[in-house]
Amino acid sequence: MATATAVTPSTQVPGPRTATAPAPTVTDPALVKRAVKAAALGNAMEWFDFGVYSYIAVTLGKVFFPSGNPTAQLLSTFGAFAAAFLVRPLGGMVFGPLGDRVGRQKVLAVTMIMMAAGTFAIGLIPSYASIGVGAPLLLLAARLVQGFSTGGEYAGASTFIAEYAPDKKRGFFGSWLEFGTLAGYIGGAGLVTLMTALLSADDLTSWGWRIPFLIAGPMGIVGLYLRMRLEETPAFAAEVEKAESARPKVPLREMITSQWPALLLCMALVLVFNVTDYMLLSYMPSYLTSELKYDETHGLLVVLGVMALMMIVQPFAGALTDRVGRRPVIAAGCAGFLFLSVPALLLIRQGSLLAVGLGMGALGLLLVCFTAAMPAALPALFPTRVRYGSLSIGFNISVSLFGGTTPLAVTALIGATGNLMMPAYYMMAAAVVGGFAAWRMTETAGKPLPGSAPSVEAPR
């Protein structure tokens, strides 16, 4: 199997080097591509489940929470969905430090197994009519397993790609992680939409709803196979070699106290990233339907169209961050949300399909500034020794506090004020926080990761 190795004297890049400078790591392009595929598939599976659960929530409410009240059913279903966010920080605190101790590849294999098992298990749970209250309890348990495993997934996957990618292409390769996110969500939502069109309401409620969740089993096996074929990242392998033994255990407290400035910066960047992400992809379909009385099917199709547009742009935007830097791209996204959120929402409120598409498309292209830059920018905030753990903690706390609560917070603000422009104001506030973080962060494009040797691509 091809591996990433230190450069020998005959293949070193010409130029002066000090005696203490680490030898660059040469990355095999084929190996990097396999690493990207294996990491992105896990993210795709997470968001496949997200898309399925969101689009089939009404049916799940009838299966697991048959109260006779559609609103109560839907709230109960999304309550089980939201429970996963509560345990994400716990998962991050377990899997992150473990990844810094035993290796990224091993932990990512475990999170893949747990995510696939949790999603697959939902498809096997008997209905409320069959076993009573045990059904919603089992659904909740499966969601908690999913949330716990997800706590170690994104930080691990982004770390894995960042530590494999050559310095000058880290943005491009990292952007494929969010490409997997978009592909997974479109796949899940698209599958449910197709099933809804092909199956009767009775068939969907009795057995059809299980199919999307059961698909997670084969997907998990493929993902596990891809991840088990990979070797440990060159950066982590070098860290172990430096220690001349197994990696010394870094206390969880040290991961926080020794990295608190970077942790705060990470949380601020994740805040703007996830508030705008969940606002556009999770909340806006409900906003179009409940607040603007827009046709539900058209609203969902518009969101899927926006995500398809983002997928097309994503790799090009990732490559752009390698050329101009992460900071300018993130700053441009923050400025765009600060000044264009209100015009975009006013356009969406016009109600016509063209106006809604243009407004949503504009917000989607602004969001690409974050989805393209963050997978490379966030791992570069921390040194190799604590990268997985510190990133997991900062990322998941911020997602749980700010990202996952976005739909609930905006709905409550609209209810309290009656102002339908609250989504725009909320994104503008997040953009201010993100802009400050972009101003404070250090540019890392084209530079080695902290604590790691320079990484260059092998000549073709």
Convert the pLDDT of each residue in 304-338 to its tens digit. 899 999 999 999 999 999 999 999 999 999 999 99
Q: How confident is the model at residue 6 (pLDDT cuts 50, 70, 90)?
A: very low
Do the Cβ atoms of 168 and 109 come closer than 8 Å?
Answer: no
* Range(s) within the chain of domains with CATH label 1.20.1250.20: 26-247, 258-445
Mean pLDDT of the region 204-216: 89
Do the Cβ atoms of 455 and 24 come closer than 8 Å?
Answer: yes
Distance CA 9, CA 416 (A): 68
Least confident of 111-120, 294-303, 319-328, 343-352: 294-303
* The domain defined by 258-445 carries CATH number 1.20.1250.20: yes
CB atoms within 10 A of CB 448: 18
- Please, is 424 exposed, middle or buried when counting C-beta atoms within 10 Å of its C-beta (0-12, 13-18, 19+)? buried
What is the chain's mean pLDDT, rounded?
84
Distance CA 14, CA 9 (A): 10
- pLDDT: which is higher, 404 or 312: 312
Closest by CA to 268, choosing from 342, 374, 412, 163, is: 374
- Token digits for 35? 């690493």
Domain 26-247 homologous superfamily, CATH: MFS general substrate transporter like domains (1.20.1250.20)
Residue 14 in this model has a pLDDT that exceeds 80: no
Q: What percent of the chain has pLDDT over 70?
A: 88
Residue 1 in this model has a pLDDT that exceeds 50: no
Residue 178 in this model has a pLDDT that exceeds 90: yes
- pLDDT: which is higher, 403 or 248: 403
Q: Which tens digits make up the pLDDT trace of 97-139?
A: 898 888 888 999 899 888 888 889 999 999 888 888 888 888 8
Q: pLDDT value at position 70?
A: 66
Least confident of 18-22, 143-147, 314-318, 371-375: 18-22
Closest by CA to 316, choosing from 179, 162, 135, is: 179
| φ, ψ for residue 149, nearest 5 deg | -70, -35
Residue 5 in this model has a pLDDT that exceeds 50: no
